[in-house]
């Protein structure tokens, strides 16, 4: 627990046992926020944690724990954790000079940006911000104050929990009461009363605690009123059965919620508990959670890598499926990054730790999924608002049913009171309130396991409505590893052309610049840093080498710097028509050569676009590359395209589309920040990188184009599941409300219908845990 100063609130954290859904979190938030000195309450349903600011001069932390405990939840204080390391500032590699992209150069101690003016390097950071807001307090339904919850430690069976023991006890009492009714009728009535009281006392205690906290309309309060009223009108048998069925529903609900959480917890179990550390030539085994940045760990063949790091010695095949979902091992060597939980499949490796345990990639995935559950879908927010009106309305209707017929229509008080009590039970909105968050939780878990990270219900709902997907070209539709295919020299040798170009491109992290430098190194061409290197916004890069002024940029921008004869123009047209990116090299105002590069489309790009088309979704490629190259690549993939776009023009194109329909923008998560932010959903492609996880609304960890369609399929399946859940919840309520008022439905049928609807809705939502998003229809 930390504090920044004596006058500021302390930041405290607890594990909250039994917080099964978003409504549970809303309950706790609503009760805790009412205490003086409490601020910034944040709850994570998936991790069952609560964090808040507390001024202990107004309220002691023990008061927080007592308030939560009074609502039926358990608490355990957590020690403060180190804040996750922020994503390092990453310069945008962009596309190629003059083609709507940026370069980052570092010539000696001096760095300069090479590319488009106004390009945003900050990244798209909308994704996780919503988690801090969390759901607003709801005053109705499942999880409301008094809703009995508890911790279920790993490995503990349902019957070992307090709720499980209550079910067994009330069930035994109910069975004994029925047995006694067969042999001793006079005693059986009191046996049913005893069975009812044993079950209802803990429920009533929580109901009154909730009322004292300012939230009287809870399912526990309805249960207490209904059971007590049934006893007073002589329906002890039904009262006992109602209490027993309610307890059974509570147990089933907890089991279902824990199953959804277990799918995410399983990710954390992939990281080994111990690590072999090398120090001063000797090895020792330590707790993997205690690894420090900079330590060297030995990873034997067959072992799981204990931390995110960088290989310092060895070459081996790495199975990264726990992180990316990609089962094909990748061969990696010295200097290449590896992820915690990945399997070293071939040879011993030495890995330098680059991230602490709480900040490794799997931990970040788990944390983002947990936080995503606080970003509620619009449908869920509407249901919460509806429930706050619905519960008082049901109570008012029950009062009218109990009072109006006897007073105005000469009805029997006992009959209409019984029907009013049944109406209270049937009116419980548990199934309705849980219908959305249960499906969202299952969908997020399924997506994370399949390499599809979506940050909350808002993103899922928007993805389901997507009708246009816009793609960046370089590194998204293409492999992002271009190579020089041809050099056309004019008056100089090929080596001289490459040497001049490499001098101004050295130090750049852009794939096309790296391709030129790689060509120079592969042919033993000296690579020297040009002096006075600088970017010409939106055109290219210039510098001076051995007194020669050098410019490298797209041909359309080079035309103003040098004369292109017919031969040069024909060469440019021929190369660009073939789908190649062309860089013109000018020395002292004279065109000395053309360098053609080709970035091949990803292997699954065409199939991915075809799958989107099968879903009724248009695909559009946005690129700063020349029109002929853009047309060639887009044509080979069967998609529309817009070429020669500056970064601000990409944003304008996205905004124009967004005004008409739902748009998803897919980029590399770095250089496409403005366009990602402008789209309805920004999706970053990246194999578990910090940027891919943090910068967009969603991330595709496998870097496969096909997974864009998979994400849409999962989102649509989730929304379809939610619609079915809402129909089940409202449909059953409507039917049984009518039958209850007309006397066809008794108390036990009412609670059975309510519990049954909750179980059906939860079970239907859990079907999403088995959904295969990668399987096209």
Active site residues: 472
Tell the burial category of 556 from Cβ atoms under 10 Å away from its Cβ (0-12, 13-18, 19+). middle
Q: Give the 3-state secondary structure of residue 534.
A: strand
Instruction: Provide the token pair at 697.
Output: 């609304």
The CA distance from 1 to 770, in Å, is 39
Lookup: tokens for 154: 């790993």
> What are the structure tokens assigned to 524, written together?
């033993």
- DSSP β-bridge partners for residue 700: 452, 685
- The candidate with the shortest Cα–Cα distance to 438, out of 145, 17, 23, is 23
Share of the chain residues as helix, strand and coil, in percent rounded to the nearest 5: 45, 20, 35
- As given in the structure block, the two tokens for residue 162 are 């307090």
Tokens 């559950």 correspond to what residue?
A: 373
Q: Would you give the distance in Å from CA 701 to the centre of its chain?
A: 12
Whether residue 365 contacts residue 448, with contact meaning beta carbons closer than 8 Å, is answered with: yes
For tokens 């129909």, name the residue: 727
The two structure tokens encoding residue 748: 């036990």
3-state secondary structure (DSSP) of residue 305: coil
Token readout for 348 is 């011993």
Cα separation, 287 vs 390, whole angstroms: 52
Taking CA atoms, 429 is separated from 387, 432, 457, 744, in Å, by: 7, 5, 20, 21
Residue of 630, 731, 218 whose CA lies nearest to 428: 218
Contact 447, 772 (CB under 8 A): no
Round to whole Å and give the CA distance between 455 and 54.
Answer: 28
**And the tokens for 750?**
């009412």
Length of the chain (residues): 777
| Token representation of residue 689 | 């990188």
Buried b or exposed e, range 239-254, using 16+ CB within 10 angstroms: bbbbbbbbbbbbbbbb
Q: Give 547-596 as a DSSP string.
A: TEEEEEE-HHHHTTTS---HHHHHHHHHHHHTT-EEEEEEETTEEEEEEE
| Distance from C-alpha of 187 to C-alpha of 369, rounded to nearest angstrom | 55
Q: Burial, 280: exposed, middle or buried (Cβ in 10 Å; 0-12, 13-18, 19+)? A: exposed
- The answer for residues whose C-beta is within 8 angstroms of residue 586's C-beta and 6 or more apart is 550, 551, 552, 558, 561, 562, 592
Considering only CA atoms, which of 299, 302, 333 is closest in space to residue 316? 333
CA distance 757 to 753: 6
End-to-end CA distance of the chain: 50
Label the pairing between strands 618-622 and 640-642: parallel
Rounded Cα gap, residues 710 and 443, in angstroms: 12
Tokens 């994400």 correspond to what residue? 711
Summary count for the chain: helices (H), strands (E): 23, 28
Residue 207, token pair as written in the block: 């109901």
Question: How distant, in Å, are the alpha carbons of 201, 202, 236, 648 from that of 174?
Answer: 15, 17, 11, 71
User: Helices 236-268 & 361-372, crossing angle to 10 degrees?
Assistant: 150
The CA distance from 605 to 636, in Å, is 10
Closest residue by Cα to residue 584 from 678, 490, 461, 647: 490
């Amino acid at each position: 627990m930390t504090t920044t100063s004596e006058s500021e609130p302390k930041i405290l954290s607890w594990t909250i046992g039994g917080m099964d859904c978003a409504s549970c979190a809303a309950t706790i938030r609503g009760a805790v926020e009412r205490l003086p000195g409490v601020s910034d309450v944040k709850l994570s349903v998936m991790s069952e944690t609560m964090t808040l600011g507390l001024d202990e001069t107004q309220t002691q932390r023990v008061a927080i724990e007592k308030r939560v405990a009074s609502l039926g939840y358990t608490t355990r204080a957590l020690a403060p954790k180190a804040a996750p390391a922020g994503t390092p500032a990453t310069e945008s590699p962009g596309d190629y000079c003059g083609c709507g992209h940026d370069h980052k150069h570092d010539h000696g101690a001096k760095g300069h940006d090479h590319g488009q003016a106004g390009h945003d390097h900050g990244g798209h950071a909308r994704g996780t911000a919503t988690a801090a807001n969390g759901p607003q307090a709801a005053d109705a339904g499942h999880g409301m104050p008094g809703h009995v919850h508890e911790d279920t430690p790993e490995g503990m069976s349902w019957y070992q929990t307090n709720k499980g023991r209550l079910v067994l006890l009330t069930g035994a009492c109910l069975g004994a009461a029925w047995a006694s009714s067969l042999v001793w009728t006079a005693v059986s009535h009191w046996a049913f009363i005893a069975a009812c009281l044993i079950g209802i006392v803990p429920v009533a205690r929580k109901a009154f605690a909730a009322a004292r906290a300012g939230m009287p309309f809870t399912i526990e309060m309805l249960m207490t009123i209904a059971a007590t009223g049934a006893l007073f009108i002589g329906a002890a048998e039904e009262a006992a059965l109602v209490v027993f069925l309610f307890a059974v529903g509570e147990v089933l609900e907890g089991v279902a919620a824990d199953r959804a959480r277990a799918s995410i917890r399983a990710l954390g179990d992939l990281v080994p508990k111990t690590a072999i550390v090398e120090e001063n030539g000797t090895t020792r085994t330590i707790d993997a959670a205690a690894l420090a940045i900079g330590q060297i760990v030995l990873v034997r063949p067959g072992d799981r890598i204990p931390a995110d790091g960088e290989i310092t010695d060895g070459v081996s095949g790495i199975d990264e499926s726990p992180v990316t979902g990609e089962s094909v091992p990748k061969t990696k060597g010295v200097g290449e990054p590896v992820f915690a939980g990945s399997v070293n499949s071939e040879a011993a490796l030495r890995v330098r730790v680059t991230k602490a345990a709480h900040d490794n990639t799997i931990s970040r995935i788990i944390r983002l999924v947990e936080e995503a559950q606080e970003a509620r879908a619009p449908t869920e927010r509407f249901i919460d608002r509806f429930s706050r009106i619905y519960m008082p309305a049901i109570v008012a209707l029950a009062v009218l049913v109990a009072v109006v017929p006897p007073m105005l229509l000469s009805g029997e008080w006992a009959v209409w009171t019984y029907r009013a009590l049944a109406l209270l039970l049937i009116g419980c909105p548990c199934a309705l309130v849980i219908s959305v968050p249960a499906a969202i939780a299952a969908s997020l878990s399924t997506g994370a396991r399949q390499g599809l990270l979506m940050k909350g219900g808002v993103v899922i709902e928007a993805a389901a409505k997507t009708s246009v997907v816009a793609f960046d070209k370089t590194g998204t539709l293409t492999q992002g590893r271009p190579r020089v295919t041809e050099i056309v020299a004019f008056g100089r040798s090929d080596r001289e052309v490459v040497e001049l170009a490499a001098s101004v491109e050295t130090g750049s992290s852009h794939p096309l610049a790296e391709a030129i430098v790689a060509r120079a190194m592969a042919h033993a061409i000296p690579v020297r840093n040009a002096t006075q290197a600088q970017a010409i916004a939106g055109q290219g890069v210039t510098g001076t080498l051995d007194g020669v002024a050098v410019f490298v940029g797209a041909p359309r921008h080079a035309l103003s710097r040098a004369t292109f004869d017919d031969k040069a123009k024909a060469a440019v047209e021929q190369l660009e028509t073939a789908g190649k990116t062309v860089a013109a090299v000018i020395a002292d105002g004279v065109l000395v050569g053309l360098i053609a590069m080709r970035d091949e489309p990803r292997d699954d790009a065409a199939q991915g676009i075809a799958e989107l088309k099968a879903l009724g979704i248009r695909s559009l490629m946005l690129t700063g590359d020349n029109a002929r190259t853009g047309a060639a690549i887009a044509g080979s993939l069967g998609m529309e395209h817009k070429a020669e776009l500056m970064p601000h023009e990409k944003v304008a194109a996205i905004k124009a589309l967004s005004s008409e329909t739902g748009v998803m923008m897919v980029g590399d998560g770095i250089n496409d920040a403005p366009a990602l932010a402008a789209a309805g959903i920004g999706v970053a492609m990246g194999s578990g990188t910090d940027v891919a996880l943090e910068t967009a609304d969603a991330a595709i960890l496998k870097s496969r184009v096909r997974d864009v369609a998979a994400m849409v399929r999962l989102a649509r399946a989730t929304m379809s599941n939610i619609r079915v859940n809402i129909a089940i919840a409202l449909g059953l309520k409507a039917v049984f409300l009518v039958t209850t008022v007309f006397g066809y439905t008794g108390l036990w049928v009412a609670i059975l219908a309510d519990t049954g609807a909750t179980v059906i809705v939860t079970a239907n939502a859990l079907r999403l845990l088995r959904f295969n998003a990668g399987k096209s229809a």
